[in-house]
Chains A and B, each alone.
Chain A
Amino acid sequence: MQQSATSSVPRASGAAGDKIFEWLCRGAGLLVLALLGAIILTLFIGGLPAFREFGVSFLWSTDWNPVEGRESYGAAVAVLGTVITAILAILIAVPAAFGIAFYLTELAPEWIRGPVGTAIELLAAIPSIIFGMWGLFILVPIIQNYIQLPFGEVLGAIPVIGVIFESNNFAGTSLFAAAVVLAIMILPFIAATMRDVFLTVPAVYKESAYGLGCTRWEVMNKVVIPYTRVSVVGGIMLGLGRALGETMAVTFVIGNANRIATSIFDPSTTIASVVAMEFPESLMGSLKQSSLLALGFLLFVISFIVLATSRWLLRSRLK
């Protein structure tokens, strides 16, 4: 069109286009930053009335009383349930995830690695509500009949710590059931991260060890693990972060009881599941709603710390 004009016209439009596009991209990036800030701020502001009403004791109060006029809410039961289920889940999942990662990187024949690796990754893709249903209808009866009863009888006889295993819970939904479901859910995440960091070990190191006549376990134990230790812990933290915030699967199998469980076979609750169960039916702007938002804020702080640590530990291996 403007053939006669100097070449500065298309050049200028290109430069303007560049500016606009760069700012579009940067703006989207800033939006993501703002999003995180807004989430934290919203939860804190929403929880402020509860923090004001109950003060710091909100953190260790075990109350959960929605009766009008005597309303009193505390975070202790849910926070404790969250932490116990997540840690139990890690204790169950980590050895298994390590086994899978070791198998897939060092032991399995080449033709098995691909399909099995994919299968484990598909386990990670299954929605949490499916884990919840499967947990409730399949796993809970198994746990109740074959783990809770025999373990309760045998381990319950141990003085002092026996209490942890003793329960007369007939529903079967319990902290332990939630931990097992969580363990299965985070297993593929931890296994995949471990596999990826194990693969970053330079082949020369492993070959040197094999050349000395080391067995595969010795190579794993003396070469691969020391080389990847920090990243492995990062992978475990990633699993922990996921376990802390998992909602639907836990809600199905934990029993949702707002009281401190004395036994791992007793029902209890977690922050995420108490929010899922009670928030939709609480009145807009009520003290209960504010308490649930305050719980959400606590959950955010806990999982943010765990996830940030995980990323920091993994920074060198997985960019």
Chain B
Amino acid sequence: MSSTTSLTGLQMAAAPAKDQATARALGRRRRAVDGIVRWACIGSTIIGLIFLASILATLIYRGFGALDLTVLTREFEPTTYGDPDAIRGGLFHAIVGSLIQTAIATVVGTPIGLLVGTYLAEYARGSKLGEAIRFVSDVLLSAPSILIGLFIYQMVVLPMGGFSGLAGSLALAIIVIPVVVRTTEDMLTLIPNTLREAVVGLGAPKWKMITLVTWRAALSGIVTGVLLAFARITGETAPLLLTSFGNSVTSWDLGRSMASLPIAIYQQANSGFPDLVDIAWAGALLVTLGVLSINVIARVLLRKRK
């Protein structure tokens, strides 16, 4: 870029042009500043990528070393450190608990989120109530998840008299709702109005227009939202600590405390025993692989749409 003719030129027009040397020096300075900022930006991008790479590398290095069939099929066992003959424990109980709770949370949260998103996109465009609901949903989207844990503790755990898988599922369901609301609304607003007019023009009632046409047209987007919500709750730890609490054996009973992968990782990573920490790394690798692959799938789905 020939910068000597630019701003400098303007300034020189304002103040009578004195000499070319000043102009050239100014141009050099501007280009130098530009170069420094550019390298600083490239540097910060590289640093961001290094963090991602470091996390993934650590997970793969420590996680794959510890990941085997025992981890996937056995329940928690106390540490076997220093005793090579003892039977090692695993994460089967946590995997089962996580699947149960995330599945229930998704099944409970998705329809509510879908209806709210539909309300915002199809009924409440520009209305005061819609504005309020959108605002509250966005606040819930970023609200500290541990507070949702406290809320469910007061509402479910206290009356039931103890931690339970049900409480955990409900806490996760509350986290699912705003994620689904956001994507559903975004996707429905993208549907052209001509499509709606065509359906209504055929004499179909509005609810049929929404359920049979606009939902279907936005299906891949809505599924993306559900997948993202599922990925988000797969890694949620804090609310589960206060609701389903964790369990060292496999439990299918929603009325009692239930294990989950994030809680198992948390407890074993902080146990101080190297063999349990290894199991925690294996669990961390499982959770991260799951979450990242769901995210990638969601992205591919969304790209197909566009």
Tell me the A residues contacting B by CB distance below 8 Å.
14-15, 17-18, 20-22, 24-33, 35-36, 38-39, 42-43, 45-46, 95-100, 102-104, 107-108, 116, 118-123, 125-134, 136-138, 184, 187-188, 191, 212-218, 220, 238, 241-242, 244-248, 252, 272, 275-276, 279-280, 284-285, 292-293, 296, 299-300, 303-304, 307-308, 311
Contact = CB atoms under 8 A, between A and B. Distances in A.
B194 interface: no
Contacts of A132: 266, 269
B291 A245 contact: no
Interface in B127-163: 129-130, 132-133, 135-140, 142-148, 150-151, 153-155, 158
Contact of A213 (B6, B41, B49): B6
B112 A130 contact: no
B102 interface: no
Given A38-B151, A125-B231, A130-B288, A311 B133 contact: no
Given A21-B207, A95-B44, A272 B146 contact: yes
Contacts of B118: 25
B133 A126 contact: no
A37 B234 CA distance: 26
Nearest to B141: A307
A128 B234 CA distance: 11
Give chain B's interface secondary structure class: helix
A103 B45 contact: yes
Contact of A129 (B120, B181, B235, B245): B235
Contacts of A25: 115-116, 118-119, 122-123
Interface in B17-73: 30-31, 33-34, 37-38, 40-45, 47-49, 51-52, 54-55, 58-59, 62
Given A35-B174, A42-B150, A275-B242, 14 more contacts: A22-B123, A32-B136, A32-B140, A107-B42, A119-B49, A123-B52, A133-B280, A136-B269, A212-B7, A213-B5, A215-B33, A245-B146, A272-B238, A300-B144
B9 interface: yes
B48 A123 contact: yes
A296 B144 CA distance: 10
Nearest to A15: B205
Contacts of A296: 146-147, 150
**Of listed B55, B124, B135, B234, residue having the most chain A CB within 10 A:** B55
A204 to B, nearest CB: 18
Given A25-B119, A245-B145, A127 B262 contact: yes
A188 B140 contact: no
Give chain A's interface secondary structure class: helix
Nearest to A116: B45
B193 interface: no
Given A18-B206, A21-B210, A217 B58 contact: no
26 contacts: A17-B207, A21-B207, A25-B118, A28-B112, A29-B116, A29-B129, A32-B112, A32-B136, A36-B136, A36-B140, A45-B154, A95-B44, A99-B41, A100-B48, A103-B44, A103-B45, A104-B45, A122-B292, A127-B234, A128-B235, A129-B235, A129-B287, A132-B269, A247-B237, A303-B144, A311-B139
A46 B137 CA distance: 23
Contacts of A279: 150, 153, 241-242
Given A28-B116, A216-B38, A129 B262 contact: yes
